[in-house]
Amino acid sequence: MLLQIFDAFKPRLHDSNSKVNQLALEALHKMIPLLKDNLSPVINMLIPAIVDNNLNSKNPGVYAAATNVIQALCQHLDTSLLLQPFCTKAQFLSGKAKQDLTEKLA
């Protein structure tokens, strides 16, 4: 069930409309403390959706929402769930996104 919900939700994290994108990130930020480690089946799908365009976004609202989501993941999930997806993404990122993710890994 959770997988089906996030399959439908994930495209909003990539939406070309920055307002939709930002609202999706803000909604995810609110969901993380409620779902916590129950997100483990979808974490490998969520991390790329959160990081790919959002951490390098020139839109300050989108960037702030993305960093808040990453922070919430680090606070509320077992960090061992985040290590692999963060490492994988950090290898292929550039700019501010690479720096932000590398700092979280450290």
At 23-80, the pLDDT tens digits run: 999 999 999 999 999 999 999 999 999 998 899 999 999 999 999 999 999 999 999 9
pTM (2 d.p.): 0.94
Q: Which domain holds residue 63?
A: 1-104
User: Total structural domains in the chain?
Assistant: 1
- Long-range contacts: 19-24, Cβ < 8 Å, 24+? 21/53, 21/54, 21/57, 21/62, 22/59, 22/61, 22/62, 22/65
Whether 75 contacts 67, CB under 8 Å: no
